[in-house]
Structure 1
Amino acid sequence: MASLVRSIPAASSAIALKHFSHRLTLETDCSDVHASQQGGELDFVLVDVRGESAFAQGHVPGAINMPHRLMTAEYLASYPRDTLFVVYCAGPHCNGAHRAAVKLAALEYPVKEMMGGVMGWLDEGFSLAGEQALQREGGVACAC
């Protein structure tokens, strides 16, 4: 009898290659963002899409705060169209980063999601910046 894992057959290697390659065009991870920051390779704008109060409590160093509800053509007019935005929210329990990515893509900006958000950043052992720079004690609010 097959395991639960094998009860649905795996995709062919060709399909898996296409699927996982495609995901990499839409996502990045906390480790790659951190390494890029440490190496001075800042060819993207890191955007915390949470509410202002959540951002003030603690955010990824180098991020700007741009709640997804503010993302309009007028608000983004100062950014060149080829600006790569890397968006994140509180973590995988929140879809704020997805909402922001939809708005940015609709406005024809390139966009990637930083998987894991603030929770992922903390899971990697990286520190936050901000007034209270919480570490993982009481969870992370999105306030978006």
Structure 2
Amino acid sequence: MPHATDIPAPPAAELARHFRARLAAETDCSDVHATLQARPDAIVVVDTRSPEAFAAGHVPGAVNIPPATMDAAALAAHGDVLFVTYCWGPHCNGATKGAARIAELGFPVKEMLGGVWGWEMEGFTLVGAPQDAVAS
């Protein structure tokens, strides 16, 4: 049975570069929520799921742009911002596909780890979700 210590960790400087690189490309639900509260014009949150999934519930202020429909003109219309992609959660790679496409088109982007699942686990609410329709 393998153990965590079977393969030695790299030198600390190499690890620091690795983890800093991950932080440059990834963010989490709590940090996105805080940014939306303090500086909402600094980011555009991109829901990469289907229009039907988006309509059923999404992060407040998010725009729905599935990766197959992303183009430079649509992204440029949002101005000089950081794009943040998300999808369903850890089991879904739609956010990764969207982030790759946005980067290929030349725009700054991060992937929000956790997606919809993480957003709700953090205690944040979705808009357009069934509970919102009942409250209306």
State TM-score, norm by structure 1. Answer: 0.83
User: Displacement, 1:131?
Assistant: 4.4
Given the superposition, is the C-alpha separation of residues 75 and 42 from structure 1 closer, same or farther in structure 2, using an over 3 Å criterion? Answer: closer
Partner of 2:57: 58
Give structure 1 regions of 4+ aligned residues with deviation exceeding 3 angstroms: none
Partner of 2:46: 47
Sequence identity (%)? 52
CA deviation vs aligned residue, 1:6-45 (integer Å, no higher than 9, x gap): 1111121111100000111101100001111222453010
Partner of 1:22: 21
Partner of 1:34: 33
> RMSD between aligned alpha carbons?
1.8
User: Displacement, 1:93?
Assistant: 0.8
User: Displacement, 1:83?
Assistant: 2.6
Aligned equivalents of 1:73 and 1:63: distance in 2?
18
CA deviation vs aligned residue, 1:75-122 (integer Å, no higher than 9, x gap): 334233x43100001111111111111111111000100011001101
Contact kept, 8 Å, 2:86 with 2:116, in 1: the verdict is: yes
SS at match of 2:84: strand
**Unmatched 5+ stretches in structure 1:** 135-144
State TM-score, norm by structure 2. Answer: 0.88
Given the superposition, is the C-alpha separation of residues 77 and 39 from structure 1 closer, same or farther in structure 2, using an over 3 Å criterion? Answer: closer
Given the superposition, is the C-alpha separation of residues 41 and 129 from structure 1 closer, same or farther in structure 2, using an over 3 Å criterion? Answer: closer
Partner of 1:8: 7
Aligned equivalents of 2:51 and 2:6: distance in 1?
46
Contact kept, 8 Å, 1:56 with 1:132, in 2: the verdict is: no
SS at match of 2:4: coil
**Unmatched 5+ stretches in structure 2:** none
AA matched with 2:93: N
SS at match of 1:42: helix
More helix by share: 2
More displaced 10-residue stretch of structure 1: 111-120 or 69-78: 69-78
Equivalent in 99, 102, 109 of residue 100 of structure 2: 102
More displaced 10-residue stretch of structure 1: 124-133 or 113-122: 124-133
Instruction: Give the number of equivalent residue pairs.
Output: 131
Given the superposition, is the C-alpha separation of residues 100 and 128 from structure 1 closer, same or farther in structure 2, using an over 3 Å criterion? Answer: same
